[in-house]
Structure 1
């Protein structure tokens, strides 16, 4: 049997080796990629090597620690001296440097150059206006990014990882205790308890280990779990290869250990590598690349159109200096200087709004993927079910009530030091206090064989009154049956209560499977319990001892569905998200739960079936099935990758160590605040409540955030394109400039102000009903369709001023320019409301109060400027009363035509 299990684990390792596409958390990927850039500091290597070579007692003495751990006072004193256990990360920039970074973007640099040219051309007014635009863009971005950073820091603090340390009592006679503390409070000399699912919080020396396997791909690039021991291996070629050292940033795959903290914070290997990575400029992610592509699209557009404007005006007017200044103003108008501010403030607001809905965003740009998600893969327990598991039945192998099986299960759950799950807690809560005290008095722990996902069971060895040892194994039914040779029957041979252990033959197996199948059909989750007596002389145990066991019985658990699960699934489906359940539980319990919540589950795909499929077959099967049962961690990961390969944006929701590979492989990893460390580390989104309703709320908020960013980009692109068309038409036929450079700059500045309310705008429910994906190509189509609409009314205004108001000479050009200034500003501001929604604005869809307030204020200012005391300064003049009747007609016609074009665009291309 030991050979079989060893081969099973070897198969698991070989499969891990085959998974060359195994995804790691982004920061670990980056660090691993840069690990070869520089050697590890010699002093760090020497210190770790010395600790590795010493016996545990000597290592404790070197760190001035002890087996009972540090006291609280000692730990606090060391923390004050060495500082918090935090890896160097992107610290907040000094205010002056942050302000400089906010200024330093292509748009501001371009505006500064244009301002310099205006100053050299002795155009002081244009220089002042351009400087105001640069200052506005920089200061607003500075303020918004400061708020965003503070919001992100407070959100990250909500989901910080913790470590379990052994703390000595204040007095030598007081026993030590295990306590959870924030990971940042660890100090050298602390003793940490590690179990499956834990992130290793510092660089440590292993003091005790039970089947400890560590995933340290982030440090060494090796995708296989590495077994760690207490002993020092002298043949290791480097510190990272030492078998008794574990390092920050790696994680416990299986087993349990106690480790001595040697290095913390930036002195760890992880910290040394991270500090080097911070010196390298980060590569833009997909979202940043999308924003950059739009930015450079508009810049290239300006680089083509501005020279054309210059040449047309120079040749038609003959005043090349004036034509040059006008072309500069057009270039400023084409520059979306508020783009970065709008994106930053929208993401920051989105993150804060999500946190109010119990969704914490670890990376702001993950919001876009959150909104784009169209397939959600999730576990069953705690998501569809109440996560409040209770013991429903305690029976012997053939269904007779049994207290003995509960006692054995209690001993197993109580004495294990690994990851205690909901089943363990339910067992511990089901034993009353007198029985619990008696069991603790009669038994003491001898050894433990930790859980892993290959065996799907775990064992503890206890001594009963120091007379003999009992190995108690608890786990999945099929795996337990495979290592049992006998079965316990109570009340046999006519002696009530007297157990006997006949062989586990075919007839008994048939009865067992029939009974447990019936429990599964009732929606009960079955955990089998087995045991065998061992000689009292044996002190250490391994997987090889899990053979020849006697099946004692089962603990059956009830985890009823949440009342919110069925409505949540309907809401997710209505929002275009297909939910697929990926669970390690058996197919009968899974089907029962899915049926109760209304999730299609007629066809179930099992882990063994997936194992036999190639990638192409799995890709087809992943599309067809909604329920996947009896899965291993690697099979969950394969399903997620298959769905992504099919073109889906896949979210995965999980909270256990077995979910970590799938969390990393998904487009958007979703975990919960109560998850194991490795799951929270791998996730992009953390839910403060494990609920699909909370998740759905978060998805809608993510889509709303993305919609508001898209609004600004569309408005800017279409408005800029329309302005250039109008300028080219006017320049070709007018004997003077259609608008002075200063007037064009002021108009653009006011328009920018009107858009600062976009991050706070409302979003139509229809716009967030389906998944949204970044599509830069759509921006160009939108620009080409809606840009000419404003040009139509600009040309109408030209005709109005030329023929109706006779502003057709050089002497009357001020009236012409003022007329277009007002129409241009009002239509540009009105377009904010017209194309923020495919519906009728103000009637079917209303903007938020901040956006309405800003746009109304700018329109009032635009009407006041020609009439007020500043008119002469901007070379504007009061318009005749008859003009305003025409203005109203133009605005009404503009809204009507835009509405018609919107409907055409929606029918032809869809709004988003």
Structure 2
């Protein structure tokens, strides 16, 4: 099991919020046997342990650990990392770089060559394998190092209570999750991932999504004190939280009881080493292309053997020649080209504030043709301003502001920009006065089912005030009265109409409306719950302005020009969404709301999603469903989100895109992390993804067409010549030099038109490309045969060395020039120039090819010096080859396009 598999496992497990994970399909998660017996017993013991014993068992206390205790715990337990995440040893990495179909195939051919005592061929083949493996090894090591450095920039953190000085001062600190040790006290709130195995010590409406471990589709509630009389399965314990699960709602403090490989997740990771992940779109594409080239080789090599054996009568020599043709048809540099191109693309993207968590995602980035995104922070500035605070009639109300401030100040759950805007609106003097008069009693945290949250505060010992704020419709569901000035009146149909008029008017101004309600309660002991959010009095509204970004309109135009359709999926009001879209030049058309989606089947929604630009008032599962249906329609879909409500859609998309400031669950679910939440940054990243893919495609096109042409030429020559057109040795050297010239392709420039539209794997297009461009080189190879036969009279076996030298030079130069011809649809060297590394490598290879027949190695290589009169003919043949290729490029492009 490779390190990559474990990283994918760790990335995937925590985010299957609804469906059961395939890794657990073979066993019931509700059986105690799913956890090693010793670990299960230990967890059950901790789950039932009184709090006083808990502190003692883990050498901890309510004030948190000090530096000395942390050091001792780390020395005993190590870092909070899954053991399988440790870097693969260099020898293991080298083996993985060698173990690809092309290298294995070449190794078989080398063994066959060795068994025939063709030691030179054996050496050349092994040299090609060594070059491919070592280059791939170096590039993967560099890319892994770069990827680790980039991922470290966006690593998840945990909020932990630590003693920070010798005086015993404690403070909540944010530290990387891998720094946690058993005994640490961590704080949890909505959107957090559970960073280790935890025992809850304080909780308020804490709900955990643990489908990744248990298959339960709904979140489960956790508490500090167990309400279960008997516990047999730790996964069902209501006082334990396990690494890799996610906080859906509520708040808590919990003690770390296990880290790294000692967690249940760590144990699971160690037990699924034989499980293989389903390959993604990129891997499937590479696999299809690789198998196409291998099948082509397996068909053509026997054909060459039969023709040469039948026409020459020397089956042994024919077998060696067919073996060399098989080597020449093997694109052994493909793994290295792919790895180095992806690695270079990831590094270039990082300079544009785009962090690639998984290299394979770059191809999907370039192939994306639909981008689904939220409105807030993407189209808008993500800089919320409290624009107004009104009563239910739309008049400015300081009471509503006061209630909203108390709610935002005392809530400890999912912090957001709305709360920040409310707190900033009240000056320091007023805030201090509020804190002096009021104290917090309890809170009912926010969740996406209720779409509201409440705090309970007290000013007098005999009364409590519950203050609730949230989305308008969800607030109206729990309100029975309305405050009008100093009066409180029942909520009637007439008042509902007036409320709609006032809030719709605010929405049409582009303001986001949040309702505020309250009620007084008789002071009591005990916790408050959702049931207390009833019979509320609607006090008024706070309305927020999130102005559109100046860069949004140009970015939308750039994305449209790049062939990407932008769709807005927001939980906000349809009026606000439509207003913002108009301001940024996006035609919203008919806005579809979540309530309408509920009544549509998948077929109807898929058709609607194709044409709809803006969806509003969506739940997390609505977003996930839309993304999934767009993918099923044949689109490559990207989803950009940063909240816990975006996690299902991020996982459902071909490419999940989040930002550095997103909640843990969103960052973990994403493939791409933007260091700046901007569509401009995203557009730049898409272009770089396409540029990376275009360079990979160049090598595949060059190799496929060149190989096809060479084999066609060999077949023609073999059928009519009384000797082999080229020795096996010549084919091997030619292929080796050609491969070396390809090493610089990842550094090549890409024409603008190649990155204007999404690019995807298309094996059928590759087949057409081979058929169109392969025979072109064969035409000029045959002209070279005629030249050597009729002009230089190399028509008898005694003159075969001259014939073979002439075709060796022409074949190598034409193969090298095809790099420049196929890398662009434009006129090479004039309208489109290759990057200097590629220019330099091809020039060096061409010089070596011209030098070899004249070099001291010529006799050893069975080559001979060519007459000077050969070279004007060579220039003419190469010029004709380039001219015809350029002409065919125009025909091919007009008919099929140029990807």
Q: Normalising by the residue count of structure 2, what TM-score does the alignment of the two structures yield?
A: 0.95
Pairing 1:9-24 to 2, within 5 Å after superposition: 24=16
Tell whether the 8 Å contact from 1:107 to 1:337 is kept in structure 2 after alignment. yes
Deviations 1:515-534 (A, max 9, x none): 22211111111111111111
What is the Cα deviation at residue 160 of structure 1? 0.7
Select which of 176, 193, 198 maps to 2:187: 193
Distance 1:832 1:310 in 2: 29
Q: How does 1:556-635 map to 2 (within 5 A)?
A: 556-635=543-622
Deviates more, 1:864-873 or 1:561-570: 864-873
Following superposition of structure 1 onto structure 2, how do residues 474-485 of structure 1 map, counting pairs within 5 Å?
A: 474-485=469-480
- The residue that corresponds to 1:364 in the other structure is 359
Per-residue deviation at 1:402? 2.2
Aligned-residue Cα RMSD (Å) equals 2.1
User: Is 2:212 the counterpart of 1:218?
Assistant: yes
Tell me if the contact between 1:30 and 1:277 (Cα under 8 Å) persists in the aligned partners: no
1:790-831 CA-to-partner distances (Å, cap 9, x unmatched) read: 111100000000001111122211111110001100100011
Distance in 1, matches of 2:891 and 2:321, equals 35
- Partner of 2:464, secondary structure, is strand
Q: Hey, what's the Cα distance between the residues in 1 that align with 2:573 and 2:446?
A: 18
Question: 2:694 maps to which residue?
Answer: 707
SS of residue matched to 1:642: helix
Q: Which runs of 5+ in 2 are unaligned?
A: 1-12
Confirm or deny: 8 A CA contact 1:447 1:539 kept in the other structure.
no
Give, in whole Å, the separation in 2 of the partners of 1:276 and 1:34: 13
Alpha-carbon distance, 1:467 to partner? 4.6
Comparing 129-138 with 112-121, which one deviates more in the overlay? 112-121
Q: Distance in 2 between matches of 1:211 and 1:93?
A: 42
Given the superposition, is the C-alpha separation of residues 273 and 403 from structure 1 closer, same or farther in structure 2, using an over 3 Å criterion? same
1:75-108 deviations in whole A, cap 9, x for unaligned? Answer: 2332233111112334322222322332233322
> Given the alignment of the two structures, is residue 345 of structure 1 paired with residue 332 of structure 2, yes or no?
no
The answer for the alignment partner of 1:184 in structure 2 is 178
Tell me which residue corresponds to 1:154. 149
Q: Residues 73 and 90 from structure 1, CA distance in 2 versus in 1: closer, same or farther, beyond 3 angstroms?
A: closer
Q: How does 1:421-460 map to 2 (within 5 A)?
A: 421-460=416-455
Q: Deviations over 1:106-127 (max 9, x none)?
A: 3223323333333343333323
Match of 1:843 among 825, 830, 838: 830
Mapped partners of 2:339, 2:27: distance in 1: 31
Could you list the per-position Cα deviations for residues 232-272 of structure 1 after superposition, in whole angstroms to 9, with x for gaps in the alignment?
A: 21344411111221111110111222212111111111111
Question: Which one of the candidate residues 121, 128, 132 is aligned to 1:133?
Answer: 128
In the alignment, is the contact (CA less than 8 A) between 1:206 and 1:245 conserved in 2? yes
Q: Deviations over 1:272-327 (max 9, x none)?
A: 11122235454533322322222222222222222222222223223333222212
Question: Is the contact made by 1:520 and 1:589 (CA closer than 8 Å) also made in structure 2?
Answer: yes
795 and 250 in structure 1: CA distance in 2 versus 1, 3 angstrom threshold: same
1:853-899 CA-partner distances (Å, limit 9, x unpaired): 11111111111111222222212111111111111110111011111
After superposing on structure 2, the runs of 4+ consecutive aligned residues of structure 1 that deviate more than 6 Å are 25-28, 34-38
Structure 1 position 411, deviation (Å): 1.3
Is contact 2:197–2:264 with CA below 8 Å preserved after alignment?
yes
For the residues of structure 2 that align with 1:882 and 1:846, how far apart are their CA atoms? 31
Aligned to 1:292: 287
Q: 1:157/1:790 Cα in 2 relative to 1: closer, same or farther (>3 Å)?
A: same
1:64 Cα shift? 2.1
Once the two structures are TM-superposed, the CA of residue 575 in structure 1 deviates from its matched residue by 0.8
**Which residue of 2 is the match for residue 515 of structure 1?**
502
Distance change (3 Å), C-alpha of 1:658 and 1:411: same
SS in 2 for 1:502: strand
Farther-moved stretch of structure 1 (38-47 vs 832-841): 38-47
Aligned to 1:685: 672
Alignment counterpart, residue 533 of structure 2, candidates 532, 546, 555: 546
1:489-537 deviation per Cα after TM superposition (whole angstroms, max 9, x unaligned)? 44xxxxxxxx343333344433332222211111111111111111122
Contact 2:17 2:209 in 1 (8 A): no
Q: Secondary structure at the match of 2:744?
A: helix
Q: Distance in 1 between matches of 2:861 and 2:24?
A: 59
Change (3 A) 1:133 1:66: same
Q: CA separation in 1, counterparts of 2:167 and 2:894?
A: 79
Question: Partner residue of 1:13?
Answer: none
Distance 1:129 1:28, change over 3 A: farther
Partners of 2:21 and 2:215 within 8 A in 1? no
Q: 1:45 corresponds to which residue?
A: 40
Number of matched pairs: 883
Alignment of 1:694 with 2:645, yes or no, is no
Matches within 5 A, 1:398-417: 398-417=393-412
Q: CA deviation at 1:56?
A: 2.9
Offset at 1:475? 0.8
Aligned to 2:223: 229
Q: Does 1:769 align with 2:756?
A: yes
In structure 2, how many angstroms separate the alpha carbons of the residues matched to 1:30 and 1:355? 33
Structure 1 residue 463 and structure 2 residue 458: aligned?
yes
Partner of 1:265: 260
User: What residue number does 2:3 align with?
Assistant: none
Give yes or no for contact 1:214–1:250 (8 Å, CA) kept in 2: yes
- 1:183-202 CA distance string (max 9 Å, x none): 11111111111111111111
1:331 aligns with 2:326: yes
TM-score between both structures, scaled by the size of structure 1: 0.94
Offset from partner CA, 1:669-718 (integer Å, 9 cap, x none): 11111111111111111111100111111111111111111111111111
Give the CA deviation at 1:731.
1.0
Contact 2:109 2:327 in 1 (8 A): yes
1:70-219 aligned within 5 A = 70-168=65-163, 170=165, 174=169, 176-219=170-213
| Alpha-carbon distance in 2 for matches of 1:778, 1:89 | 40
The structure-2 alpha-carbon separation of the partners of 1:133 and 1:114, relative to structure 1 and needing over 3 Å to count, comes to: same
Alignment correspondent of 1:10: none
Q: What's the CA shift for 1:407?
A: 1.8
* Aligned partner of residue 181 in structure 2, secondary structure: coil
For residues 690 and 890 of structure 1, the distance between their equivalents in structure 2, rounded to whole angstroms, comes to: 54
CA drift of 1:29 comes to 4.0
SS in 1 for 2:540: strand
